[in-house]
Structure 1
């Protein structure tokens, strides 16, 4: 496995200085294209690359949809990138909001819809266990009886059937309770996602059930050391692990060297990279003094300090672009 220094050398990372963009963006992706190919123009090449699945949704726009999962009707926001119709195999990112938030809100502050990918923003269920707020499986306040793992599987089946997305380049991210659920997906759905990127994650015991026997996965974790909602040092009263211990557990599952390499970005970001892994990649980005927020955003995403040294969506896009599934479920047509 490459160290982060090797990755940076290969990817030619550039610093972004406007909006919510930050360090570690991956310019290897052509604008409006896919990570492994630049857009083709003209003749047979254009026809071969174009999407053949019809949709009424406009490229560069977002729309709300419903899906039946089990006995429930669930909803999600779907964003199609610019020039969507010109390519047949877009990466797919599924982004899970935090407790009490919505798919619309995480789209608004995350910057994920600016990436050259199809992005789905599912909405959690409301139940008494969540304090009458939308939440996800994997937390003590999750709606009783909710099966968000099945919902995710059903959502992937629908998106891979109806849209021009590549099952081998499907990724999951989320914030807070949504990030905790992303960890649950890493433990249970390693055959559907190529990489996972929890941010400000709430890793309750319910979010780590079955993880001891989980398959190795590529995982990038981002967390602020000044997070007062989900403390970086952990919270024994809520059975929340220390974040460094949580990431080290994934490094152990991936059979990486136990001691990570480290590097600094600016004055407030430290990157920990576990190397020589038997499978998967494990990386942790610690934001010194960072709050319970989405790094790099200019829109409210939670309490505490927001760094602009990096932007979370650019860090995870660089990480996602390095990983794909060898034998994904689902097929392109």
Structure 2
């Protein structure tokens, strides 16, 4: 953005460092919090840069759920460990809300909370974020991806619909939303992870329990109905193929849980849609430790490692030339 002044705060450091001329600072490996102004609002994101920055790096945008924060989501999901091993940048943005750093949401068109009620331009913010990031690190512009939990997963769908010129593929987890108008001019690869026993984002659709702290209730669209919209858009076969099944191991957090992998392919332009359909877990990020009480979100699970599955999917896809 012309004239945008941005700052970088090294996590754990005592001082806020900005370049004297207002331009971006190059980022060293590690964690940084970056602030910028967009559409008259102060916005921020956390970026994790892996040790090896000798080549242009892919970027994974990871969005927190409704009522969450970037810091809490980054710590809980812990994508940084895999990023260091595989060589990609992790960006965890902050949504908006009545408080600067907590109880935040994303405008996923039909959901959720403050961001939707105030019609926050979150798609525009992500575009500005990517422009800002490109001045700070060597990124691979053809390999920028979006994932997120719950409301963050819903927002990933909105980016697929409205920013497919920047986002190569998306992987929503525990969050589905029907976009009124899919503006993407190309097929968009999609990986969706969801439990049929999710007590918050209902797999079969319907009115969910009240949203924590606000009492807001969201009428969910069935996950497979959302996927059907994208199946048509992407030119995929209407019926998926079951390609894998697994059962949780006794004595682990996956005990009593199961997972099926359903594949819609081949689709136009070599794309695919993959559904990981879980049974047993709740409204959680698979592979991550317990974050909220089971009474609120259901059981955590180790039936799959969402981080590894999401990255393996992203590696297969890039923006077309």
**Does TM, scored on the shorter chain, surpass 0.5?**
yes
Establish whether residue 227 from structure 1 lines up as the match of residue 198 from structure 2.
yes
| Deviation readout 1:107-145 (Å, 9 max, x if unpaired) | 1121311222111110011149xxx93111021423303
Distance 2:73 2:292 in 1: 8
- Structure-2 residue corresponding to 1:134: 104
- Distance verdict in 2 for CA 1:301–1:152, change over 3 Å: farther
Q: Does 1:246 align with 2:204?
A: no
Structure 1 SS opposite 2:135: helix
Structure 2, unmatched stretches of 5+, are 1-23, 209-217, 248-257
How many correspondences in the alignment?
265
Quote the Cα distance in structure 1 between the aligned partners of 2:135 and 2:28. 18
- 3-state DSSP of counterpart to 1:134: coil
| 8 Å CA contact retained: 1:224, 1:287 | yes
SS class of match (1:153) = helix
Contact 2:197–2:279 (8 Å) recurs in 1: yes
Paired residues of 1:88 and 1:164 also in contact (CA < 8 A):
yes
In structure 2, distance between residues paired with 1:82 and 1:213? 34
Partner of 2:237: 257
My pick for the range that moved more, 311-320 or 141-150, is 141-150
Measured in 2, the distance between the counterparts of 1:247 and 1:72 equals: 33
Take 1:160 and 1:57, find their aligned partners in 2: how far apart are those partners? 11
Structure with greater contact order relative to length (CA < 8 Å, sep ≥ 6): 1
- Name which of structure 1's ranges 274-283 and 88-97 shifts more when overlaid on structure 2: 274-283
- Whole-Å separation in 2 of the counterparts to 1:55 and 1:301: 37
Q: 1:65 aligns with which of 18, 34, 41?
A: 34
Structure 2 equivalent of residue 271 of structure 1: 261
Hey, what's the Cα distance between the residues in 1 that align with 2:265 and 2:190? 12
Contiguous gaps of at least 5 residues in structure 1: 1-53, 328-333
**TM-score normalised to structure 1 length:** 0.75
Q: TM-score, normalised by structure 2?
A: 0.77
Q: What is the CA distance between 1:73 and its match in structure 2?
A: 1.5
Residue of structure 2 in register with 1:309 after alignment: 303
Secondary structure of the 1:256 match is: coil
User: SS at the partner of 1:296?
Assistant: coil
* RMSD across aligned positions (CA): 2.1
1:214 touches 1:253 (CA, 8 Å); kept in 2? no
